[in-house]
Structure 1
Amino acid sequence: MRNSLRVHAALFFVALIYAANYSLSKDVMPKYMGPLGIVTLRIVGAALFFAVIKYFVAPQDKIIGRADNLRALACGVLGIGVNQLLFFSGLNLTSPISASLLQTIAPIVVVIASAILLKEKITLTRVLGIGVGLVGAGLLILGRNAQAAAYPHATLGNLFILANATVFGIYLVLSAPLMRKYHAFTVLARVFLVGAFIAVPFGWRDALTADYAHFPLYIWLEIGYMVVFLTILAYLLNNWALKYASPALLGVYIYPQPVLAVLIAVALGKDHLTWGKAGQAALIFLGVWLVSWKRKPAAGPAESVDTVQN
């Protein structure tokens, strides 16, 4: 049970890290640096960090076998390179609240990916949930509101965020077997190395041409936050949690993100919550709840209570 509390605490802290990023990153891009430049700094910084730590912490641990190496390659491409390029490109074009709400689609993707990759059963309730959640996401993506002037390309940005949530959901399913088999730093060093090969060709120019000499202190602090907290710490905590919890539980912890993101964005004056967005959020949450809902089996004399793995 103690380990279960640590898992939940780690996942809530990750949700808080992600929620703050929706507003903080708006200070940096596109005024001081383009979204692809931020991605390059994040991934290269994390790749170097995890490679060095892995060398000292788990020097003999290696990913072996064709299947595991291909899985690690897919995780690096989808979960690091493509995921981060889509997220920051989308957030640059849309509002913090819209982006955070669309991220809640990830648990639905986890269920679909688990059904395809892990042969898990999709019930009628889950099919209904997938439909309701996608309707809410569709209304949010295509809807226009009072902030249309501030975000003229919000529809494209929302589509990027939806694609980002999709590849992140697939990454959670693909990476879980690796995290249970190898040391966390072994997996993270590999996937960030692969991700760097994907991201750097797109963002190196933005990263090199930024006017670093004129960055205010708070911009340096926010970039540091995105590299240290959003990338290194968040991925480390997420992947540690995968040793003890299912990908679905990590998906569930996307729920608090939009709530925290709304509070932070409104408090900082970065965004406004409208009734339209609230209704779209309700549809998405209902869909995700239906997808995550499981009928409790009748207790038998020989059955034990199912808990988070200790």
Structure 2
Amino acid sequence: MNKRSLAIMAAIMESTIYGLNHTIAKAVMPEYVKPFGFIFLRVTGAAILFWLVSLWFPKEKIANSDWPRLIAATVCGMVINMLLFFKGLSLSTPINSSVIMTISPILVLLLSSYLLKERITLLKVIGIIISLSGALILILFSAEQKYNAPNIPLGNLLFLINAFSFGIYLILVKPLAAKYHPITLMKWLFLCSFLINFPITFWEFRQIEWESMPPAIWGSIAFVILGTTFSTYLLNIFAIKQLAASTLSSFIYLQPLIAIVFSVAVGADQLNLLKIVAGSLIFLGVYLVTKKKTVTGS
């Protein structure tokens, strides 16, 4: 099997884990762990794991010229991205989060086109407008207060900002992924993430009442640390070595399918007409934007 095929398999596995995460992480917040406290667990756990694993890999030094890009990638992919996604998930629903995240490829296209000075066609502009309309419908008109979702419009807005931040991360990390071993890159990204997130997240981490957690919640936390954080970021950095940022971001379309089936199956969310209409607009817009590949990544 060639490297590109392996990269595609890694991207599929990454999206599958993320699709499950929308519901699994939601079950933990905010009753057992508040969102920022959860980020402390994610970042600290992943940083420890990556540094331990790095003991079995060759040592690489990050060039001084690459540190600004690495820190910027950390801020976008492991600070803003994580904080806003988990905060939004604590306020909104798993289906909303998975649907709005599909707008990320459009944001990657816009960013890549801007950085590469490539022209965006009229068809893509129409697609962007349609997709953003769907996202805005979810943000402005989702008002139900079910399924532990106290502020759905605000949560959905945070998802949109989160998707934009993750799009920037994919653009920034691409050159670094081509230059360094995935383990080297991840251990430094997560160490920087730990240092930046610490003052923001430690207070909520201290509020966790460990003795009151049932075994299922412990399992969910372990899944988020080992699966959603350690495994997905490693799979992502492996995949982006072989795939363009815009190509990799398109695998996010698997997330809503997995998230919807799983969340409805376990009773964590439900489909309604608003979500179907908004989701259809987002998917139509994304289809128009990605109909013809014009971006090769950076």
TM-score (norm 1): 0.91
- CA separation in 1, counterparts of 2:154 and 2:196? 21
Residue 33 of structure 2 corresponds to 33
Residue 61 of structure 2 corresponds to 62
Deviation of residue 143 (structure 1)? Answer: 1.1
Deviation of residue 55 (structure 1)? Answer: 3.8
Contact 1:94 1:154 in 2 (8 A): yes
Contact 1:76 1:190 in 2 (8 A): no
Residue 22 of structure 2 corresponds to 22
Task: Tell me whether 1:281 sits opposite 2:279 in the alignment.
Answer: yes
Note the alpha carbon deviations across 1:253-290, whole angstroms, 9 max, x for none: 00010011000000000000112111111110111111
Residues 1:207 and 1:145: Cα distance change in structure 2 (over 3 Å): closer
Deviation of residue 48 (structure 1)? Answer: 1.7
Amino acid at match of 1:113: L
Amino acid at match of 1:277: K
Deviation of residue 154 (structure 1)? Answer: 0.7
Deviation of residue 53 (structure 1)? Answer: 2.2
- CA separation in 2, counterparts of 1:209 and 1:145? 29
Amino acid at match of 2:289: V
Q: What pairs up with 1:251-262 in 2 under 5 angstroms?
A: 251-262=249-260
Q: What pairs up with 1:96-107 in 2 under 5 angstroms?
A: 96-107=94-105
- CA separation in 2, counterparts of 1:279 and 1:62? 49
Note the alpha carbon deviations across 1:235-259, whole angstroms, 9 max, x for none: 0001000111111121110001001
Q: What pairs up with 1:218-229 in 2 under 5 angstroms?
A: 218-229=216-227
Q: Radius of gyration: which is bigger?
A: 1
Contact 2:93 2:147 in 1 (8 A): no
Q: What pairs up with 1:1-310 in 2 under 5 angstroms?
A: 2-59=2-59, 61-66=60-65, 68-147=66-145, 150-294=148-292
More divergent stretch after superposition (137-146 vs 223-232): 137-146
For the aligned residue pairs, the C-alpha RMSD in angstroms reads 1.8
- CA separation in 1, counterparts of 2:269 and 2:86? 17
- CA separation in 1, counterparts of 2:142 and 2:3? 45
Structure with a larger share of its residues in helix:
2
- CA separation in 1, counterparts of 2:214 and 2:76? 33
- CA separation in 2, counterparts of 1:56 and 1:3? 22
- CA separation in 2, counterparts of 1:125 and 1:54? 46
Contact 1:75 1:175 in 2 (8 A): yes
- CA separation in 2, counterparts of 1:55 and 1:115? 39
Contact 1:184 1:239 in 2 (8 A): yes
SS in 2 for 1:254: helix
- CA separation in 2, counterparts of 1:196 and 1:245? 28
Residues 1:284 and 1:293: Cα distance change in structure 2 (over 3 Å): same
Contact 2:107 2:164 in 1 (8 A): yes
> How many residue pairs were aligned?
295
Amino acid at match of 1:48: I
Amino acid at match of 2:203: R
Amino acid at match of 2:51: A
Contact 1:82 1:198 in 2 (8 A): no
Where does the alignment leave 5 or more consecutive residues of structure 1 unmatched? Answer: 297-307
Amino acid at match of 1:11: A
Residues 1:129 and 1:272: Cα distance change in structure 2 (over 3 Å): same
TM-score (norm 2): 0.94
Note the alpha carbon deviations across 1:155-174, whole angstroms, 9 max, x for none: 11111111111100110111
Contact 1:81 1:194 in 2 (8 A): no
Deviation of residue 5 (structure 1)? Answer: 2.5
Contact 1:148 1:154 in 2 (8 A): no
Amino acid at match of 2:131: G
Residues 1:218 and 1:148: Cα distance change in structure 2 (over 3 Å): closer
- CA separation in 2, counterparts of 1:186 and 1:137? 36
